[in-house]
Every structure is written in structure tokens, then in C-alpha cells.
Structure 1
Amino acid sequence: MTKTPNLFFSCVGSRIQDNGSMYTRFHLGPFLRGQSLTFANALRRTLLSEIPGIVISDVLIEGAGHEFAILPGVEETVMDILLNLKKLVFAPSDSQITELENFKVTGFLKGSGPKKLTANDLKLPLTVKSIDPHAHIANLSSNGEFSLCFNLELRKAHSNVTNKTNSIPEKKTRKFFFDTVPMPVQKVNYVIKSLNVKQGSEYIVLEVWTDGSVSPQETVQFALKNLTNLFYQFAATSKTSGFGTE
């Protein structure tokens, strides 16, 4: 097996946005001409489709019997509140998302007006945190009373999520189920640049944007590990399947 000498994988720029999202630029190489494009394509697709995330799986809003309900003293409809909840970004407090196996916790929110409810008002276990505490949920007037309970779970992009409905939809309060597909990596961009013209070597400039629940460094490490394991399994299978023998 031929090894490529002087491999490098370095972080050359990083920043945190106002809403807690993250950006990092990496340099990876060297590659022979053509290898970099193959490598970058596989890495980009893995980053965009296989990173797990913590999402709201279901929510119970007191007094809400359907999505189009209007609650007394609450400016937003139940549908608006559900959409605002879907936009919230959560992360584990003391571990990395990619290292979690099973994760499920319960959170609460209760308030009385006049008040602007944000993610900072959520009552969460110590094991999880909200990335953007200023994220809007609902506005309450002076006579507004609002209460909800929700479950958070770790979900993979390829998880089979089915839409559930309450068995008794006419109840005054019902549970709403979310079929949210996690997308911790919001955007990936890469550019192939020449490293040594005489040797025909290249390197990749990789840019990764995440929602803040996971760092770009963690996502790239996770993607590289998954790709390595996948290719290794096929390589091991080819050795035992009799390929190349008569």
C-alpha cells in the first residue's frame, strides 16, 4: 500500500456567529490530481446528510386541541408557536453529539404576561442547553397564560420518522409530534487548489457552517471516521468473497 507523505489537516479560520452558529475553514492534503475531487465530494455529502442532532420529538401545549387554535392572551397561533419551536437548536452540555448513543430528555416552559417568551425561558435538564437563548417562541399579553411540555431526542438523518396523530383529536389539549430531520451542518463548500504543479499535487480548502449544536471540527472528524469505516468494511468483504481467484 502506497502512503502519501506529509499529510496535513489544519484549521485555518474559525468564528462564532451572533446566533451561536459556527464557521470553520480547513486545509486538507496533499492529493494526487483528481483524488481531491473524489475525496471532497464524498466528505461533503457525508457532512450534509449523516451528522445526528438533538430535536424536539413532541410537544404538549396546554389548551391547544389543534394546530390552528388561538390561545387567550397569546399573540401567535399554535401553528406559529410550533414553527418557532422547530427552529430551536439544542446541544448536549458536557459531551459531543456524535458521541451520544441514546439521548432523551424532557423540557418545560411556563409564563404569564405581559412577556416575550424566548428559548432562555425554557426549563431544561443540566445535560442539554439551547444554543440561541434569544430565539423567539411567543408573545404574551397582560392576561396571557402559557404552558407547554416537550421531549428532546437524538435523531439521525436516516432515522425513520413517522407522523403520529393524537388518538382523540377533539381533546382540549393534544400532543403534537415533530418529524424534524436534523441538519446540524447548514452548508459545506470546497475549492480544489494546486499545491505542486511539477508533482501534480493538490489540496482542498473546505468550509463548514453548523447551527452551533456541533463544532465544524467535530463534524469533519465524524464524517472522516464514518467514511473510513464504510470503505474498510467493503475492503474486508472483498478479501473474503474470493475476488481475483479462479
Structure 2
Amino acid sequence: MKKISTAAHMPTEIEVENISNNKAQIIAYPFEAGFAVTLAHPLRRLLLSSTVGFAPTAVKIDGVTHEFDSMRGMLEDVALFIINLKNIRFKIKGDEERVEVNYSFGGPKEIYGSDLSNELIEVVTPEGYLATINEDAELNFSLIVEKGIGYVPSETIRDLVDSDYIALDAFFTPVKKALYDIENILVEDNPNFEKVIFTIETDGLISPIEAFKDSLEAMYTQMSVFNGVLDIDIAPKEESASDNVELNKLLQSVEELNLSARSFNCLDRAEVRFVGELALMSELELKNLKNLGKKSLEEINAVMEEIGFPVGSDFSDDTIDVLKKKIADLKSEENEG
């Protein structure tokens, strides 16, 4: 029997399939229509942008001054060497977020990722090709490897390393692919429920499941900023008797202040009709009223202090808005009368 829902259906099924060491599918269902994409799209963005990884951020090569240079005895020029270097995936072994490693190779030799692993870093793409050097050549270089998220351009990194280093574009994310498909699924007699299927592939720095966990944690962390909304009292604030009394005082005519004729006439010419207008004014605004002398300024300040609403009173934004509106309405009524 059909019925009207009072809450969105809670998905209950989750399936995880490891397709290979670096590839997995995560399937969840059944979602109400529209809910699958609402969750899947930001999770995909977080997978690609917030998953923690490692990358080389700068390199220093003996005898090389810039990235478009060449080196005697090396088959590749420096630009191609750097491209090959960025394709090799590194992982810092300890808890450090930044390490500097030094390498020295003598030819003849073909250098691969497996040659770069040491006590500080692990290379998860050991088959990655780096360079070939001749028998009479020697390749000495230093490499900075860092932990990070997303993509950081070399222009940013250049300000963070010594001038003798060549800054590299850093691709930290270990997620190579993050896709999702949404399929309809039948629940009871309703064919409009949805199943979301994530396909995640990483470069081996972390597993696809770890990457998915990282993205979930990032989503929860970002959304926690709204937890404060739960503590906000959304019930309308009731006006107290004292609020009304204070507002009535502020809506009194300046005639009620019993000012001297000189002070009152100055306010009248400036079209200051109500006590609240004086309370809302700053000291400078009052002082700049045309023909308001020093004695009148002192008198008005003293009277406003006496009634508890000094010139430039500190009101809440809500009180200011209400007061300005009521004064505007009263002035409008006076003009119509």
C-alpha cells in the first residue's frame, strides 16, 4: 500500500569488491531518487582533491642550472628527466612530512624507480624509468619529497625551496581514477530507488578503500562546521516588558528632553525629531549638525546620558533595524498629517 514518507529512506546495503591491488568498487543502495548523486558527486571530488599522497617537489642536479639544460653523458635532457621523475611515485617511510634524499649513479646504467628506494623513501612504481647514463658519466642529484594533497604548481613551490633547486609541479593525489555510476533499483513496488557504484583506482601509495575512507573523513570534517546550527535556538524571541519600555523612550519626541530653545531649534532645523535618532548618532555626526554650538552639544550629551541612552549608544543590529523603521514610519505619519 502506498503511503506518504515522513523521512528519506535510509540505505542499508554496502558491497566492496577488490578488483586488483589498486582498484576496487564500492556499491551502496537503496537511495531515494536524487540522493545518490547528492552524495556521490562531492565524494568523487574529495577523492581526487583531498586524499593524502606524496610527490617530489624539487630537484637539484650537479652541473645543471635550469630545467631546460642538458647534461653530458645522460641520454635524456633535463626536461625529460623531470617528466620521468614526476611519473615515479614515492612514499615517505617515517612520520616526516618532508625529506631530502641524495643520489649518485655511475654509468653505464639505466636508472629505474627501484634504484631510488632507500631508508627514507619507498618507491611504489619500481618499474618507472628515469634515465640512462653513459659509461663515463656520473649523475648526482638531490630530491625533496613531501606529503600533501591535490596539486601544487611549481610557482608556489619555488618560494619554498632554495634557489639552487628546480621546483616541480607536485601531483600529490594517489587517486588515478574516481568514477561513479547510478542505477535504478526496485524497492517493493517502487522502481525509482537508486544504487551508486564507485570505481576507484590508485597508484599504489594507498589502497582504494583507504582513499575512500580519507574522502569520507574529509566530508565529515568539512560538514562539522554546521554542527553549531543544531545548538541555535530558532524559536522567535519574545519581547519583554523592558524592551517595550526602552523602545517607547527612544520613540519619544526630542521635546520631551526639555532642552534649551537654542539646542531644540538646532535639532528641529536638522529634522531630528526623536530621541532614538540622537542615540543612533555618533558623537561626530551630532557635532557636525549645522549651527550646533559647544554648549548645545554638551547639553544634549548630558541629557542623553541622564536618560540612559548616550549619543552613539551600542545597540544590536536587530534593535537598530527596528528603531530606524519605527522612526521612519512616525516621520511619514507626521508628513502625511
Same fold (TM over 0.5): yes
User: For 1:104, which of 90, 98, 104 is the aligned residue?
Assistant: 98
Per-residue CA shift, 1:158-183, capped at 9, x if unaligned? Answer: 768714279997xxxx3112231323
Task: Please give the alpha-carbon distance, in whole angstroms, between the structure 2 residues aligned to 1:158 and 1:70.
Answer: 27
Task: Say whether residues 1:72 and 2:62 are aligned partners.
Answer: no
Task: Say whether residues 1:115 and 2:75 are aligned partners.
Answer: no
Aligned to 1:232, what secondary structure does the other structure show? helix
User: For 1:129, which of 94, 107, 122 is the aligned residue?
Assistant: 122
Residue 92 (structure 1) shift: 4.5
Question: How many percent identity over aligned positions?
Answer: 23
Whether the aligned pair in 1 keeps the contact of 2:11 and 2:28 (CA below 8 Å) is no
Residue 184 (structure 1) shift: 1.4
Larger strand percent: 1
Counterpart position of 1:19:
none
Task: Say whether residues 1:214 and 2:206 are aligned partners.
Answer: yes
Change (3 A) 1:92 1:195: farther
Per-residue CA shift, 1:170-208, capped at 9, x if unaligned? Answer: xxxx31122313231122111112232424432211101
Q: Tell which structure's C-alpha radius of gyration is larger.
A: 2
Task: Please give the alpha-carbon distance, in whole angstroms, between the structure 2 residues aligned to 1:28 and 1:45.
Answer: 18
User: For 1:9, which of 11, 14, 19 is the aligned residue?
Assistant: 14
Aligned to 2:31, what secondary structure does the other structure show? strand
Per-residue CA shift, 1:100-119, capped at 9, x if unaligned? Answer: 7x511222321111110111
Per-residue CA shift, 1:128-148, capped at 9, x if unaligned? Answer: 311111211110112111111
Task: Say whether residues 1:233 and 2:225 are aligned partners.
Answer: yes
Change (3 A) 1:75 1:41: same
Structure 2: gaps spanning 5 or more residues: 1-5, 238-337
The letter of the residue matching 1:36 is A
Two-structure CA RMSD over aligned residues (Å): 2.8
Residue 242 (structure 1) shift: 4.6
Structure 1: gaps spanning 5 or more residues: 17-21, 95-99
Change (3 A) 1:123 1:221: closer
The letter of the residue matching 2:197 is V
Following TM superposition, where does structure 1 have runs of at least 4 consecutive aligned residues deviating by more than 4 angstroms? 1-6, 158-161, 165-169, 241-244
Counterpart position of 1:193:
183
Task: Say whether residues 1:138 and 2:131 are aligned partners.
Answer: yes
Larger helix percent: 2
Residue 5 (structure 1) shift: 5.4
